[in-house]
A and B are shown apart, each in its own frame.
Chain A
Amino acid sequence: MTESRPIRVVAAGVDAPTMAQLAQDAGGGRVEAAALGDMQGARLVKKGQADYYIGTCWSGGGGALAAATAILGANQVGIVGTPGMVVTEERVRTMVGEGRIAFGFAYEQTTTAIPIIIREILSHRDVQSGGGSDG
């Protein structure tokens, strides 16, 4: 049986409200997402009041995950895309499987990255809770 509690995602960075909306839409009712400042969002994850953090900046480099890296630790975060690195399901799946809980990417990748991240998080949750997913 899959866990019924929604996955709580915080979005921070360039146009965070749109990021949050995309995450919620991609979750199909299984994700609650909110736009927050980067420090506030990372602290909620640290305290267990949110499950995952997604962050953007223009270059996809340090800025997207700077606060999350400082607050959660480098082993909890992962850059999944930059302008020169396409976001792939394999990379996201690996990072989610490693237990990373904060993901960064370039702003211009927002519409492609977020559905992939949410899909992989949901698949991971299904596997962990002993459920399955057809899609």
Chain B
Amino acid sequence: MAENQPTDEQLRAQLADEFAERLDMLEESGQVTKLARRLTELSLADLASQLGLRPTEDNAAQFVTHLAIALTRINRGDPEITVSPVAVEEIADRHREREAVTRVMHDCSRLLQRDVPESEIAYMTVHLSAMVDLHAGSGQ
């Protein structure tokens, strides 16, 4: 029998709760802005819904941390980071993940009132792909 799927609102609440300790820690230490935290929670729920993922501390901690820090960089208008050729190669075939990140960052861009650089999209895609692989490996 198919598992009941949570509504979008329930999913957002579940994920905010799952990563509350991590995001509290990052926000309280000044490494993540309030807006970036909120966008991280919304983006994570959106990506989980799009890709059928169940992010947890075990499979998504690095992705969540990266996303929050990256969105803070953009929020604060920090200089664009340089993408490594190794990272570019890593995601050469990850079109589905890249398209999902690009879509979600298009929405974030409006709220941040800043463009999201391609280098940030690339690193988010690397981390999302790793999460997708961990998720698949765990049989969830």
Contact = CB atoms under 8 A, between A and B. Distances in A.
A61 B90 CA distance: 18
A111 to B, nearest CB: 12
Interface in A99-135: 106-108
Interface in A16-46: 37-39
A37 B69 contact: no
A13 interface: yes
Contacts of B28: 70
Contacts of B21: 39
Interface SS, B side: helix
A50 interface: no
A39 B22 contact: yes
B4 interface: no
B61 interface: yes
B115 interface: no
Interface residues of A, number: 21
Nearest to B57: A37
B84 interface: yes
Given A39-B21, A39-B22, A83 B82 contact: yes
A76 interface: no
Given A63-B69, A67-B65, A58 B127 contact: yes
B13 interface: no
Sort chain B's interface into a size bin. 20 to 34
A14 B62 contact: yes
Nearest to A107: B86
A34 to B, nearest CB: 17
A42 B22 CA distance: 13
Interface string B62-101: 1001100110110000000111101100100000000000
B84 A106 contact: yes
Contacts of A108: 84, 86-87
B25 interface: yes
A62 B29 CA distance: 12
A57 B132 CA distance: 17
B26 interface: yes
Interface of B: 21-22, 25-26, 28-29, 31, 57, 61-62, 65-66, 69-70, 72-73, 81-84, 86-87, 90, 123, 126-127, 130
26 contacts: A13-B62, A38-B62, A39-B21, A39-B25, A57-B62, A57-B65, A57-B66, A58-B66, A58-B84, A58-B126, A59-B87, A61-B73, A62-B66, A66-B26, A66-B65, A67-B22, A70-B31, A83-B82, A83-B84, A83-B86, A83-B87, A106-B84, A107-B86, A108-B84, A108-B86, A108-B87
